[in-house]
Amino acid sequence: MKLSDAQLRSFHDDGFLILPQLFSIEEVELIRAQLPTLFAERCPQNFREKDSDVVRTAMGLHLRNDVFARLVRHPRLLEPALQILKEDVYIQQVKVNAKEAFSGEVWQWHYDFATHHGEDGVPKPLALNLHIFLDEVNEFNGPLVFIRGSHKHGPAPTSLDTVTTSYPLWTVDDETVQALVADGGLVAAKGPPGTALIFADCLVHGSSINMSPWPRRIYSLIVNPLSNALTRHRRPDHQHHRDVTPVTPLSDDCLFAGVAA
Amino acid sequence: MKLSDAQLRSFHDDGFLILPQLFSIEEVELIRAQLPTLFAERCPQNFREKDSDVVRTAMGLHLRNDVFARLVRHPRLLEPALQILKEDVYIQQVKVNAKEAFSGEVWQWHYDFATHHGEDGVPKPLALNLHIFLDEVNEFNGPLVFIRGSHKHGPAPTSLDTVTTSYPLWTVDDETVQALVADGGLVAAKGPPGTALIFADCLVHGSSINMSPWPRRIYSLIVNPLSNALTRHRRPDHQHHRDVTPVTPLSDDCLFAGVAA
């Protein structure tokens, strides 16, 4: 798995790259099949919606489940990340964001580096967020919306929002969003299950509520260069793992390893 | 202004009809220019957002402003309505729904007849909702989302939601929405300023929040056949006008009548 020069350029210009059909429906179904058991667990790794008992985010999944233990080392996501970063990476965070049908709530405008820097003392905005769509993501079920090219302006000013959602978030103010959107415009990341996505640590994004009857579950793996590791241990391990061992890719069929035919 | 047979068929099949570029940018700008003064008024006709002081809906506009007094009789909206209904109509409600940038809130799944029947004792689902987009409506700023064909199933079961928004709304439950969407799918009504829209009284629709930097203001005129007039006066006049005089179209250039060149 190697990104083309055009894909690399597109990633650096836009701050994100969509990779259609990167995972097969069989692979997506195997991943989805792990979720009911994981979501049913009452543990600090499972964050629930502010206004309901529905799981919004389930973290630390590679330490809780064999399929996710292999998925974090999948070459179709890890090799592009290593190609972009040109150095060894560790696993910073592993989660599924489940914006469930009818009940999924908003994620305000933010970028990941604000949290990585502010909470964990990560020096530079180098971490990559690697996604796999586990459901179709469309205009109705709360797609991630990117402000194209907003990563190029460097870290935008932020403030801590502990009110809107169940998960404290360093958000970008309206005036800054207005200016960044005027410059780059908005793009919603949409596609069928199995679509993958890579985006930059300073890329401003948000997502709306999900009032549709369709769930919108997305797998998210954040990897970070070893040279850029966390320097502060304020948050629990599942929010930023302490284990900074370099992660190496498995084989392309790794997800089905050990699964009976 | 006359709808084609194909347009009439489309309206009856889908429950809505989009009319691109029905109003010019000059007409839209004239309408928009009326809003700051109207929205600044502190009166029961102006409904504000639940979580802010921003005006969400301003009603009774034809009784408060000359341009709106002419707009309710505009032939480009009124003639198609009379063509569909084949009988005289009165002006039931005249408003602008302003889903402002960053702050516009959700409208849960509902259909207008639930309110018209439940609150005002309107006998049949005949009223038509006629819209003009005053801003570009796109996938990011909270477009109306229709469940295509949902009007054909007749009035769906509803319950009164007084919690989610600042405006009490008879909403449709999740199971019903799920079944209707499985049957007809979702369609977002999008287009540049000046786009018009007609939709049926039993058509289930909703709209998401507006977290974009773009306002989404829509003019809405509801007309109802005289034979189907309200039978209960529970709500204030601006929510359902008592004056059931038949309304007649003005000339096509009526908006600019009396406006200095």
- pLDDT, tens digit, for every residue of B62-74? 999 999 999 999 9
The answer, yes or no, to whether residue B78 has pLDDT greater than 80, is yes
What is residue B258's predicted lDDT score, i.e. its pLDDT?
63
The answer, yes or no, to whether residue B163 has pLDDT greater than 90, is no
What separation in angstroms does the CA of B209 have from each of A80, B35, B108, B144, B201? 35, 21, 10, 11, 23
Answer whether B128 touches A (CB < 8 Å): no
Record the pTM: 0.93
Mutation site, A107, A139, A216, interface B, largest B CB count within 10 A: A139
ipTM above 0.85, yes or no: yes
What is residue B52's predicted lDDT score, i.e. its pLDDT?
77
Measure A107 CA to nearest chain B CA, in Å: 10
Q: How far is CA B219 from the centre of its chain?
A: 7
- Distance between CA atoms of residues A25 and A132, nearest Å: 11
The answer, yes or no, to whether residue B126 has pLDDT greater than 80, is yes
- pLDDT, tens digit, for every residue of A227-261? 999 999 999 999 999 999 999 999 999 999 865 44
Q: Give the nearest chain B residue to A186 (CA atoms).
A: B140
What is residue B260's predicted lDDT score, i.e. its pLDDT?
47
Measure A219 CA to nearest chain B CA, in Å: 23
The region of weakest confidence among A144-148, B167-171, B209-213 is B167-171
Cβ neighbours, 10 Å, residue B232: 12
- Distance between CA atoms of residues A96 and A235, nearest Å: 18
Q: Which residues of chain A have pLDDT under 70?
A: 165-167, 258-261
- pLDDT, tens digit, for every residue of B85-108? 999 999 999 999 999 999 888 899
Model confidence at B261, pLDDT cuts 50, 70, 90, reads: very low
Model confidence at B228, pLDDT cuts 50, 70, 90, reads: very high
Strand partners, A170: A160
For B208, the closest of A174, A186, A209 (CB atoms) is A209
